[in-house]
Amino acid sequence: MIKAIILIMALIGVIGTLLPGLPGTPVIVIGALIYGLLEGFHLVSIKFLLILTGLSIVAEVLEYIVSGIGAKKFGGSKYGIIGAIVGGLIGIIFGGPLGVLVGMLSGSIIVELITGKDLIAAGKIGVGALLGALGGSIFSFLIALLMTGLLLSRVF
* DSSP H helices in the chain: 2-18, 25-39, 46-73, 78-114, 119-155
pTM for the model stands at 0.80
88-106: per-residue pLDDT in tens? 889 888 888 788 889 989 9
Look at the alpha carbons of 29, 149, 19, 123 in this order and tell me if their dihedral is positive or negative: positive
Domain encompassing residue 137: 2-155
* pLDDT-above-70 percentage for the chain: 99
Confidence of residue 65 (pLDDT cuts 50, 70, 90): confident
H or E segment at 29? helix 25-39
The reported pLDDT for the residue numbered 69 is 85
102-133: per-residue pLDDT in tens? 998 999 999 999 999 999 999 999 999 888 88
Q: Exposed, middle or buried, 77 (CB in 10 Å: 0-12/13-18/19+)? A: middle
Q: Based on the structure, what is the number of domains in the chain?
A: 1
